[in-house]
Amino acid sequence: MENKKIYTLGALAGIIFFILGFSDTKEQTEEFSEIVKIALRDVGNQLLLANQDSTSLVLPVIKLEEFKYRLSFENTLSLDPGDLVAIVKKSFRKAGLPEQYRVEVLQCINKEVPYSYLIRNDVARDIVPCGGRFLPKNCYTIEVRFTKTTSNSLGNQTLIYSVLFIVFVFLLLVLYKQKQPRDTKENDVSIPIGSFRFYPTQHKLIKQTVEISLSKKECELLEIFVMHPNQIVKRDELIKKVWEDNGVIVGRSLDTYISKLRKKLKDDPAIKLANIHGIGYKLEIQP
């Protein structure tokens, strides 16, 4: 029963950690998406200002798929690739976004890509074509895909929950190992009764290699007798402890169970479960 409780507790904790981790991951992803949209709107605003345009709108930033976003404009504009690279880099850095991403400038009509570049947060590995070639005034959209798909905060959050779960499982195993020997020891506790060994928790008697099973009531009665060897135990006391305390009042049931116990103890002549007329019973054990 205790082992079952431990397993249940472990499973419940695992579910809780999973739900918390999933919930936080979802919140972190949504937060990341909102930050990207804010940063890209800033990029759009800076590009319009570079075009001496302070009135036309930056259209809503669209999330195309996981970690991919599109920036659009109300009116046409020209683009200086050098300015684009610098503006994107500055806005993303201010927003604390991952510094590994790919940027594509697409023409609205035919979706051709007149300019694109790749940032890997490593100057030697960045791919940024020459920035001197201006893109003439046209309708453009800018698409950004983050190639590092996990932000540092999200990774740290996942790491924290992983460590907490591992620590909990470790503590659970320690508890189980400490509990296991005690359970085994309790199950092995026996009481000598003549040539028998009485195992209360296992509801059985053992005589040499012979094992004799006991019912729950037989076991409860025998426990009372072995606690008072060679002493009279009143009938009313037996009925109260074995039956009345459990909300059941009996008539001749006690005599029936006493008879069953006598039969199971008969193989040892040194043991006698005597009837003390009008009073109760006595477990007589000869030395």
Rounded Cα distance between 265 and 272, Å, is: 8
Kindly report whether the global pTM for this prediction surpasses the value 0.85.
no
Question: What pLDDT does 178 receive?
Answer: 64
242-274 burial, b at 16+ Cβ within 10 Å, e below that, comes to: bbeeeeeeeeeebeebbeebeebbeeeeebbbe
CA atoms of 139 and 77, how far apart (whole Å): 7
Q: Taking the domains of the chain in order of start, what are their residue ranges?
A: 2-152, 217-285
- End-to-end CA distance of the chain, in Å? 38
CATH number of 217-285: 1.10.10.10
CA distance linking residue 241 with residue 5, whole number of Å: 29
Note whether 135 and 142 are within 8 A (CB).
no
Q: How far apart are CA 213 and CA 218, in angstroms?
A: 9
Per-residue pLDDT of the chain (287 residues; tens, 9 = 90+): 445 555 565 566 666 655 555 445 667 778 889 999 999 999 999 999 999 999 999 999 999 998 999 999 999 999 999 999 999 999 999 999 998 999 999 999 999 999 999 998 777 888 888 666 789 999 999 999 998 755 554 555 566 666 666 776 777 677 666 655 554 445 568 888 888 888 988 889 998 888 999 998 889 888 999 888 899 999 888 888 887 766 565 667 888 888 999 998 888 888 998 988 889 899 998 87
CA dihedral (84, 90, 95, 96) in degrees, to 10, reads 110
What pLDDT score does 44 carry? 95
Structure tokens at 100: 């590994």
Two structure tokens written together for 84: 């684009």
DSSP line for the chain? -HHHHHHHHHHHHHHHHHHHHHHHHHHHHHHHHHHHHHHHHHHHHHHHHHTT-SSSPBPPPEEEETTEEEEEBSS-EEE-HHHHHHHHHHHHHHHT--S-EEEEEEETTT---SEEEEE-S-TTT-B---S-SPEEEE-EEEEEEESS-S-HHHHHHHHHHHHHHHHHHHHHHHHHHHHHHHHHHHHH--EEETTEEEEGGGTEEEETTEEEE--HHHHHHHHHHHHSTTSEEEHHHHHHHHTGGGT---SSHHHHHHHHHHHHHTT-TTEEEEEETTTEEEEEE--
Residue 179, pLDDT score = 59
